[in-house]
Copies of this chain bind each other. A is one copy, B any other.
Amino acid sequence: MVPNHDASVQNGLDMSNARKQASTDVTNVKNFIYNGKQEWQRKERLVEIMSKDPAFDKRGREWMTRTEKYSRGLRMLNRMYDLEQSLGWRREDTAVATGLLDEALPISLHVTAFEPVFLLQASPELLNRYAALIANRGIFGCYMQTELGHGSNVASLETTATYIPETKEFEIHSPTLTSSKWWIGALGKTATHGVVQAKLILPGGEDMGPHLFFIQLRSLETHKLLPGITVGDIGPKAFSAYAATDNGFARFDHVRIPKEHMLSKFAQVADDGKYVKPPHAKISYGGMLYIRSHMVTNAGWITAKAAVISIRYATVRRQGTKGPDGLEKQVISYPSLHSRLLPILSRAYVFIGMGRTLSRAFQIMAQRLSSGDTSLLAELHAVTSGLKVLCTTASVQDMESARRSMGGHGYSAFNGIGRVYGDMVASVTYEGENFVLDQQAVRAALKAFHNLFGDDGKSRPSSSTIQNLPPSTYYLRLLANTPSSEPPILQDASNSSASSWNDPETLILLLEWRAALLVHELAQTVRDPDATIYQRVSKGTTEAFVGRRVGEMIGALRGNSELKKNDVVVLSKLYLLFLQTTVESALADFLSFSLLRIQNPSRVGASRDPTRGLRMAIARNCLELLPEAIGLTDALGFSDWELDSALGVYDGKVYQALWDKAQMEPLNEKEVPDAYEESIRPMLLRGQRMAQKLDRTKL
């Protein structure tokens, strides 16, 4: 039967009309979001090569077993490095190409965890011997920290590294079941080497706490495990996600490694077993900070995918009452839908920008760290803790909102978001569980508060102290001048046309006031905290930081010579939407701290809802951005091959794409499934017999 193509015609028309409506220059905005024409062209070139290479064909992956997905992943990696060599890719090319593989692969642990830690902390001798091998994947590494019974609390790790002065060796050992290294990416089947975190035990028996050691796991000749090492894959993940990564376990049975294999740039053991202290106790957090700053960028691009797919589908999907043209309405025209999708788009743009800012800050810190200067560590630690929580939480929530916005078809694997969600949702619990990180962010904020205002919170800091506040606690300046300073209370808050709701600086100040008052409140109640205060303070202080950065992004737009005036106007509105919806999501805080005034609080029901002004301003901003939605999603520059989504296809022909994909389902290979003879037929026959018996009884 030849399917009738009427739907595709209308789908295509809806999409091309939406493209015509958009007023931004897609090329300019694309160059802007990719941080320059060159970066965009790099990606475009790589997509061109890879999307045509059969090794990177995505068809059929929905039906693969875990083992097949793992094998496919390594096939892709091998092919990619083949291309790297034959086409002479630079390091940046390979990084972009790796991202294009669109799977969680073991290599990411080598590149983002193993290699940076090794480079940062290995001795010159070790670097000399292994750095080139690592950079070229002549050995494949993993980073063994987490244990079966031990996660965030690194101090309680059980694996031991006992120094044996007689042979100048360390003995790595797993004394208990719970000391088994667990969750280690690439360990299960792939890695040949690894960095293991273990308690350093000195010859006298003194426990020096966790340190890092470089260890070979498998033979480079046969890939078999070395003696004393038990390693395997820990099994499938929730949502069948991360299937191509072999997260593994490892147990060590008195395994000896040479003394030189301790990563000893900042802490060493002398031949005789004497411990030489590191200059900064938290030096080893450097690697984790790098991973976290990378996670912000990643959250941005992942959110971007969800925005593109859901906005495209909502543009061509029609449902509801019919208009004069006989067509149902495009669902994106419903406020309940576009008010969910456009803020997601705004977060994608903001997080991509934030990730860039953070990477720059990390590079500066890493340079200073390598020369022993740890001054930026605390600031970046505070910032990345809160940001990691904020961005990962928001991005998984946005992905799921975007998926649900697609209604029934959002539950098809072919929508492409569910798969990405499954991979991404791990980020809320790895690299610092979000609730634990909240507490770190809060601790940093409280420390800054008391540094400024003393133990009793009542001291007055000097104005130079205030002027030198770092970005992470810049909002605390607001508490310094009380009572003279006054927050920007919106006296006519319920009025949506109040220009304040459309003024970024007002919204940013509100976010900063909220952060300041939350920290102030916590400082007063810290001995008897309620159960959610840490989360609220972490979110509040991080949103103040992000809000200020978004203000800078808006400022920078005007100075960007690549963007046309109209592009600047539209992007400013998108950033404004980010600020507006950030404030909206925390209305309880703003109201309880009197930052939003209720005009006539003594009479219930008499006053107008003071939150209505903001909500209407959001609704209006969304309506203004609506015709720009497809332009702004196109500017994110995803090809159909990258999105791999039947609902997010560039041409909008979603129903044909769904139909075509369904025909590939293996269950459809046979008209009568194998289960028929085995189960269905016996079940039907039994039922027919029973029904007949009933009928006879009736007679």
Interface residues of A in 638-678 (CB under 8 A from B): 655-656, 658-659, 661-668, 671-676, 678
A292 CB to nearest B CB, Å: 16
Asked if B188 contacts A667 (CB within 8 A), the reply is yes
Which of B63, B251, B602 contacts A65 (CB under 8 A)?
B63
Asked if B322 contacts A156 (CB within 8 A), the reply is yes
User: What is the bound-complex CA distance between A66 and B65, given in angstroms?
Assistant: 9
A320: Cβ under 8 A from any B Cβ: yes
User: What is the bound-complex CA distance between A667 and B187, given in angstroms?
Assistant: 12
Total copies of the chain? 2
User: What is the bound-complex CA distance between A153 and B74, given in angstroms?
Assistant: 46
Of chain B, the residue at the smallest CB distance from A668 is B232
Contacts of A364 in B (CB 8 A): none
Asked if B7 contacts A177 (CB within 8 A), the reply is yes
Which of B3, B434, B601, B663 contacts A177 (CB under 8 A)?
B3
Contacts of A419 in B (CB 8 A): 238
Interface residues of A in 400-432 (CB under 8 A from B): 403-404, 407-408, 410-415, 417-419, 421-422, 425-426, 428-430
Contacts of A413 in B (CB 8 A): 235-238, 240
Interface residues of A in 61-80 (CB under 8 A from B): 62-63, 65-67, 70-71, 74-75, 77-78
A189: Cβ under 8 A from any B Cβ: yes
Which of B322, B587, B687 contacts A138 (CB under 8 A)?
B687
User: What is the bound-complex CA distance between A81 and B683, given in angstroms?
Assistant: 7
Of chain B, the residue at the smallest CB distance from A610 is B592
Contacts of A74 in B (CB 8 A): 675, 678-680, 683
A517: Cβ under 8 A from any B Cβ: yes
Most chain B CB within a 10 A radius of its CB, from A520, A602, A673, A694:
A673
Which of B322, B403, B682 contacts A78 (CB under 8 A)?
B682
A132 and B598 in contact, given A433-B407, A684-B137, A684-B140 (Cβ under 8 angstroms): no
Contacts of A595 in B (CB 8 A): 604
Contacts of A12 in B (CB 8 A): none
Which of B133, B605, B655, B675 contacts A71 (CB under 8 A)?
B675
Asked if A622 contacts B531 (CB within 8 A), the reply is yes
Classify chain A's interface size: 35 or more
Asked if B655 contacts A178 (CB within 8 A), the reply is yes
A404 CB to nearest B CB, Å: 6
Contacts of A230 in B (CB 8 A): 1
Of A27-35, A219-227, A303-311, A376-384, the one touching chain B: A219-227
A460: Cβ under 8 A from any B Cβ: no
A122: Cβ under 8 A from any B Cβ: no
A177 and B656 in contact, given A435-B336, A690-B136 (Cβ under 8 angstroms): yes
Over the window 588-608 of chain A, the binary record of Cβ atoms lying under 8 Å from chain B Cβ atoms (1 yes, 0 no) is 100111111110011111011
Asked if B136 contacts A691 (CB within 8 A), the reply is yes
A317 CB to nearest B CB, Å: 8
Of chain B, the residue at the smallest CB distance from A483 is B603
Of A203-211, A275-283, A612-620, the one touching chain B: A612-620
User: What is the bound-complex CA distance between A607 and B608, given in angstroms?
Assistant: 23
A506: Cβ under 8 A from any B Cβ: no
Of A144-152, A262-270, A464-472, A551-559, the one touching chain B: A144-152
Which of B8, B71, B175, B190 contacts A4 (CB under 8 A)?
B175
Asked if A429 contacts B411 (CB within 8 A), the reply is yes
A498 CB to nearest B CB, Å: 14
Contacts of A499 in B (CB 8 A): none
Asked if A594 contacts B607 (CB within 8 A), the reply is yes
Over the window 544-566 of chain A, the binary record of Cβ atoms lying under 8 Å from chain B Cβ atoms (1 yes, 0 no) is 00000000000000000000000
Asked if B530 contacts A618 (CB within 8 A), the reply is yes
Of chain B, the residue at the smallest CB distance from A682 is B78
Interface residues of A in 479-532 (CB under 8 A from B): 479, 482-483, 486-487, 489, 513, 517, 520-521, 525, 528-532
A358: Cβ under 8 A from any B Cβ: no
Of chain B, the residue at the smallest CB distance from A75 is B679
A569 CB to nearest B CB, Å: 22
Which of B253, B435, B662 contacts A232 (CB under 8 A)?
B662
A85: Cβ under 8 A from any B Cβ: yes
User: What is the bound-complex CA distance between A622 and B411, given in angstroms?
Assistant: 36
A678 and B75 in contact, given A239-B422, A339-B531 (Cβ under 8 angstroms): yes
Asked if B530 contacts A615 (CB within 8 A), the reply is yes
A246: Cβ under 8 A from any B Cβ: yes
User: What is the bound-complex CA distance between A71 and B672, given in angstroms?
Assistant: 12
Asked if B604 contacts A233 (CB within 8 A), the reply is no
A687 and B429 in contact, given A74-B678, A678-B71 (Cβ under 8 angstroms): no
User: What is the bound-complex CA distance between A592 and B600, given in angstroms?
Assistant: 11
Over the window 4-45 of chain A, the binary record of Cβ atoms lying under 8 Å from chain B Cβ atoms (1 yes, 0 no) is 111110000000000000000000000000000000000000
Contacts of A133 in B (CB 8 A): 687-688, 691
Contacts of A138 in B (CB 8 A): 684, 686-691
Asked if A605 contacts B520 (CB within 8 A), the reply is yes
Asked if A513 contacts B604 (CB within 8 A), the reply is yes
Of chain B, the residue at the smallest CB distance from A419 is B238
Asked if A684 contacts B192 (CB within 8 A), the reply is yes
User: What is the bound-complex CA distance between A180 and B686, given in angstroms?
Assistant: 32
Contacts of A525 in B (CB 8 A): 612
Most chain B CB within a 10 A radius of its CB, from A418, A535, A663:
A418
A570: Cβ under 8 A from any B Cβ: no
Asked if B591 contacts A609 (CB within 8 A), the reply is no
Which of B225, B593, B673 contacts A604 (CB under 8 A)?
B593
Asked if A673 contacts B71 (CB within 8 A), the reply is yes
Which of B153, B223, B605, B609 contacts A680 (CB under 8 A)?
B223
Of chain B, the residue at the smallest CB distance from A133 is B691
Of chain B, the residue at the smallest CB distance from A5 is B177
> Can you name 20 A-B pairs with beta carbons within 8 Å?
A4-B175, A7-B178, A138-B688, A152-B319, A152-B407, A177-B659, A183-B408, A223-B676, A224-B672, A235-B414, A236-B414, A240-B413, A335-B531, A336-B534, A407-B429, A489-B604, A517-B604, A588-B588, A592-B596, A597-B601
- Interchain residue pairs A-B with the least CB separation, the first 7: A238-B418, A339-B531, A138-B687, A530-B615, A591-B591, A74-B679, A240-B240
Can you name 13 extra interface pairs (CB under 8 A) apart from A66-B665, A410-B429, A597-B601? Answer: A74-B678, A74-B679, A78-B679, A133-B687, A136-B694, A137-B686, A140-B680, A153-B320, A177-B656, A182-B408, A189-B667, A225-B671, A525-B612
